[in-house]
């Protein structure tokens, strides 16, 4: 997946809902990402997302986190 994401550097929104994704470290390069949907995935560790400074909304397991909440998670 990471080779595909190299061409998507300007991507601002990514919906991985209901996929078999289990880790998110390959998303670190998406510096413009503002919205990420991870509901119904196998992701258990979201710590690699701390590098995404523009991330405003993160959906994980049915919960919605605003950017101010994310900083407390890391």
Q: What is the SS3 assignment for 17?
A: coil
> What is the C-alpha separation between 10 and 17, in angstroms, rounded?
20
Q: What is the pLDDT of residue 9?
A: 83
CATH 3.80.10.10 holds for 2-73? yes
Domain ranges, ordered by start, for the chain: 2-73
Query: What letter does residue 29 receive in the DSSP assignment?
Result: T
Q: pTM for the complete prediction? A: 0.75
* Proportion of the chain in helix, strand, coil states, percent, rounded to 5: 30, 20, 50
- Predicted confidence (pLDDT) at residue 73 exceeds the cutoff of 90: no
For residue range 29-55, list pLDDT tens digits in order.
899 999 999 988 888 888 899 889 999
């Amino acid at each position: 997946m990471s080779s595909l994401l190299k061409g998507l550097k300007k991507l601002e929104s990514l919906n991985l809902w209901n996929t078999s994704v289990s880790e998110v470290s390959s998303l670190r390069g998406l510096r413009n990402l503002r919205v990420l949907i991870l509901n119904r995935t196998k992701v258990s560790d979201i710590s690699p997302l701390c590098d995404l400074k523009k991330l405003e909304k993160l959906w994980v397991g049915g919960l919605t986190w605003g950017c101010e909440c994310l900083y407390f998670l890391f």
